Structure 1
């Protein structure tokens, strides 16, 4: 079963306080769900149509584990803290090649 990568890019942060409240809860929930943070921050360099947006990449042992983490009570609490309209982001799960 290939590893899965939870990839999020933040196109806009309208409420930094809401994002901070989310991060305080999301980090422990993701770690408890088996996630391993690989990337978190702004691009060091962009090319072609690359956007200078905050990017987060989290590794999971499988797609099932990534989905279970996202759907967990702890992560759902983090989403409630984030609220609606406070950030514009793109989130996806991508399976690795092996």
Structure 2
């Protein structure tokens, strides 16, 4: 079974308070689903079309675990708290 990586790239943050509320719920939901935060923060360097915005990389033991965490009730509650406070690009990929 291949590991999976959840990558979140923030394009814009419109409401820092809502983002903080999301973070309080999302972190425990992701860790509860088996996710391990590998990196999070503003990039040290960007290239090509990269944005100098917050990026997060989370490792899961499987694609199924990552998808189940995203689609689960705890993370969905975090998304409700986030609302439209940020423009993000979320991708879940399997390791090769």
TM-score when normalising by structure 2? 0.95
Q: Partners of 1:35 and 1:61 in 2: how far apart? A: 8
Structure 2 gaps, min length 5: none
Structure 1 gaps, min length 5: none
Corresponding position of 1:95:
94
Deviation at 1:45, TM superposition (A): 1.1
Moved over 4 A (4+): none
Q: RMSD of the TM alignment (CA)? A: 0.8
Deviation at 1:48, TM superposition (A): 3.0
Q: What pairs up with 1:1-98 in 2 under 5 angstroms?
A: 1-83=1-83, 85-97=84-96
